[in-house]
Structure 1
Amino acid sequence: MLISRRTLLQAGTIAGVTTAAGWPARIALGNTARIRIGAMMPFTGTYAALGEAGVNGLKLALEMHGNKLGGREVEIVTLDDEAEPSRAPANATRLIKSDAVDVLFGTVHSGVAMGMVKVARETGTLLVIPNAGAGPATGPMCAPNIFRTSFTNWQPAFPMGKVAYDKGYRKIVSITWKYGAGEEAIAGFKEGFEALGGKVVKEITVPFPNVEFQANLAEIAALKPDAVFTFFAGGGAVKFVKDYAAAGLKDQIPLLGSGFLTEGTLEAQGAAAEGLLTTLHYADTLDIPANKSFREAYKKAFGKEADIYGVQGYDAGLMLIAGFNAVKGDTGAKAALYAAMEKATIDSPRGAMTFSPSHNPVQDIYLRQVRGGQNVVIGVAAPKLADPARGCKMPA
């Protein structure tokens, strides 16, 4: 059942009283009360499609299992975070205090996700991150009640270092926007590449969200590296790939990327993207039964093709199902709930997925090549890759 925050409030279905500290105390209703999931995602603006896909994936997983968690009905309460970090703590607090949600689900934007992490740590509310790749969420800010079903920005980028080295590339230029996701991705690639003996000879950063690349492309041409590694996504990825080809660099200096370079952008990039190599934890064409059945069910339910954002939301639902089934829907059995989620093996459309001690996915990272306008899997760049989770000190 998918409802908005306003609908939930008007229906008068909030069951809870307020403690002296200001946080909602649950009324003991056994297995009759619904488990509430607060989906704090972007539903307007640049990331609206990503927010919608993530919630669609979550909803599909729940509906395929009777819309229940551990025998209890589920309500999804939606709140538009507008991809605005400054409002994230207040929005997350509102879902917990006013809407009495049992689970926070969000979000796409890493800055907003970190605001949610802060509130989750303060309140002990279960937080599931279905997209944002900010490393600190499962690194220095890790906690027993914080889980991610997507990736860290390090994860897709690190394996490309070995791919590049094995192709004989020794000098590489990197380019990204100057913001957290790009900088973390570049650092991951650099770590993998330089550990083998390669060298990132120049790190170019572009002010976010600038898409004027001509001066940067001229600099790349002058540096004459063996290849270029990049992190761009969305409209920026479309513009960069087309400009790179138009500048005549595509056939001279191979372009490599974290998979978001060609994820959801291929139609707009057209021929400029053909042949590009990227690394990511999913591809639409992944030839496994779980992916085929998921994509069929997603298209039937929502009338559109699934994407990585839908996959990550779907897997969040499967993880919650595994956890709550283990505790028979008891939201108070937190230690047992988190232990069951941590031990779960998800039959994901991306392939079998488990969780690291920091609660980040352990997953295959695929090497993909653009062929005929599709990201085609041509190998596994890194099997069962776990993020190093540097700085994570999970309580015993």
Structure 2
Amino acid sequence: MTHSTSRRQMLSQGAALVGAASTGLLLPQSVLAQSGKIRVGFMLPYTGTYAQLGVAIENGVRMAINEQGGKLGGREIEWFKVDDESEPSKGIENANKLVQRDKVDVIIGTVHSGVQMGIHKVARDSGVLSLIPNAGVHAATRALCAPNVFRTSFSNSQPTMALGEAMVKRGHKKAVWITHKYAAGDEAFEGFRDSYTKAGGTIVKELGLPFPNVEFQALLTEIAALKPDAVACFFAGGAAAKFMKDFAAAGLKGKIALYGSGFLTEGVIEAAGPAAEGVMTTLHYADGLDTKRNKDFRLAYAKTFKMQPDVYAVQGYDTGLLLIQGANAVKGDLSQKPALYKAMEGAVIDSPRGKWTMSKAHNPVQDMYLREVVKGENKVLGIAAKALADSGAGCRL
């Protein structure tokens, strides 16, 4: 056997084993990068309180990518999953499973802001591409922003930044604020305080209770005595449903207007029942958004997953759209980081929520809708804030 023949055989064997470690010395990095599968890791809650949210996000991501033939930049995908259990103390350990054990090219997660900070540390330390499909913790796109971290959802203060002017326009110039006392509640208050006072409103009192306490009676009695024009709040999930029911039971419904970040009524209108009627919120999405893009998305999602999509499914879908734009720009070679990041920074996402762009700090610049619960649905009254951006304070990219 001649040297040239053996070399040809060796190369042909190597080509047949593309992606295997044994071919690393034989093929250029660009060929390797485009031949193997892109490794995508989900770190989401699959058990516990937020399990439904995790499933909706994953469904949305997969749907977006399946619409593109199931590939990223022409490359097939290998999927990995870790249940983050919404447990902040396991955040770093779980993220490291995906990065160190599974060698993922990208992490998609998560819902809980506390867990997100664990992912964020691993992302900053390792340089792995990190896409945040929900958690609104400010630090991720403010003081601790990073070139490889992109959020497709919201910052915790964005929905409430749209509340202030809408409330004052409706004559509600004196308000009480109430929330659970934890990071998300504090950050949501920042958005409300800044927008409401700027619009000429006065915050009569800030009220809070420890998370996840839902004993609202004493605070509702205090609100009744204060007689504000309106109450603004940040609650989500079961606590939101109970707050609306207790607010009505205390005789405040119809006397004091109730407003909140959109998560007050997201996914809990049925649980709250008649108490939710008339409650007004601001959020970057509404089921009843009357656009062809949203209607087509909702129909396709319902057909595929046999359930109705919510804001979490939309955020997952948009995460998939952002990843597709980035991967297509580098023809599937995610190792071309400057070009990948540039494409994602310049992306215009044609979303069911409406088109949105990425801020310099890697957080969505997006419309916020004013919504009112009418006959069990979040009805869109209009745009409360156009192309609203988070401040990105402290971000240096």
After superposition, where does 1:370-381 map in structure 2 within 5 Å?
A: 370-381=373-384
Equivalent in 181, 185, 194 of residue 184 of structure 2: 181
Equivalent in 117, 121, 128 of residue 118 of structure 1: 121
What is the CA-CA distance between 1:30 and the residue it aligns to?
3.5
CA distances 1:240-260 after superposition (whole Å, capped 9, x unpaired) = 000000110011111110000
- 1 CA distance for matches of 2:67 and 2:31? 28
Instruction: Compare CA radii of gyration and give the structure with the larger one.
Output: 2
Q: 1:92 to 1:139 in 2, by over 3 A?
A: same
Q: Secondary structure at the match of 1:393?
A: coil
What is the CA-CA distance between 1:261 and the residue it aligns to?
0.4
Deviation >4 Å, runs of 4+ = 13-17
- 1 CA distance for matches of 2:200 and 2:135? 31
Return the letter of the residue paired with 1:182: G
Return the letter of the residue paired with 1:68: K
- 1 CA distance for matches of 2:210 and 2:19? 44
Please name the residue that 2:290 is paired with: 287
The two structures have a TM-score, normalised by structure 2, of 0.92
After superposition, where does 1:163-182 map in structure 2 within 5 Å?
A: 163-182=166-185
CA distances 1:109-142 after superposition (whole Å, capped 9, x unpaired) = 0000111111101111100000001111101111
User: Which consecutive residues of structure 1, in runs of 5 or more, have no partner in the other structure?
Assistant: 1-12, 18-25
After superposition, where does 1:384-395 map in structure 2 within 5 Å?
A: 384-394=387-397
- 2 CA distance for matches of 1:27 and 1:167? 58
Equivalent in 37, 40, 44 of residue 37 of structure 1: 40
Identity between Structure 1 and Structure 2 (%): 58
Verify the 8 A CA contact 1:14 1:100 in the aligned structure 2: no
Equivalent in 351, 354, 375 of residue 348 of structure 1: 351
Please name the residue that 2:194 is paired with: 191
Return the letter of the residue paired with 1:130: P
User: Which consecutive residues of structure 2, in runs of 5 or more, have no partner in the other structure?
Assistant: 1-17, 23-28
What is the CA-CA distance between 1:16 and the residue it aligns to?
6.3
CA distances 1:170-201 after superposition (whole Å, capped 9, x unpaired) = 22110000111111111110110111222212
Q: Secondary structure at the match of 1:309?
A: helix
Verify the 8 A CA contact 1:160 1:381 in the aligned structure 2: yes
CA distances 1:80-106 after superposition (whole Å, capped 9, x unpaired) = 000001111111111011101000100
Verify the 8 A CA contact 2:33 2:335 in the aligned structure 1: no
Q: Secondary structure at the match of 1:90?
A: helix
The two structures have a TM-score, normalised by structure 1, of 0.92
Please name the residue that 2:278 is paired with: 275
Return the letter of the residue paired with 2:258: L
Equivalent in 302, 308, 313 of residue 310 of structure 1: 313
Please name the residue that 2:106 is paired with: 103
Please name the residue that 2:149 is paired with: 146
Would you say 1:230 and 2:245 are equivalent positions? Answer: no
Return the letter of the residue paired with 1:332: S
Q: Secondary structure at the match of 1:68?
A: coil
What is the CA-CA distance between 1:27 and the residue it aligns to?
10
- 2 CA distance for matches of 1:196 and 1:383? 16
What is the CA-CA distance between 1:358 and the residue it aligns to?
0.6
Please name the residue that 2:4 is paired with: none
Equivalent in 256, 259, 264 of residue 256 of structure 1: 259
- 2 CA distance for matches of 1:199 and 1:287? 34
Q: Secondary structure at the match of 2:294?
A: helix
Please name the residue that 1:51 is paired with: 54
CA distances 1:241-285 after superposition (whole Å, capped 9, x unpaired) = 000001100111111100000000001111111111100000001
CA distances 1:314-347 after superposition (whole Å, capped 9, x unpaired) = 0000000001101000111001001001111111
Verify the 8 A CA contact 2:37 2:77 in the aligned structure 1: yes
Verify the 8 A CA contact 2:19 2:35 in the aligned structure 1: no
Return the letter of the residue paired with 2:90: R
Return the letter of the residue paired with 2:124: R
Q: 1:186 to 1:15 in 2, by over 3 A?
A: farther
- 2 CA distance for matches of 1:295 and 1:197? 38
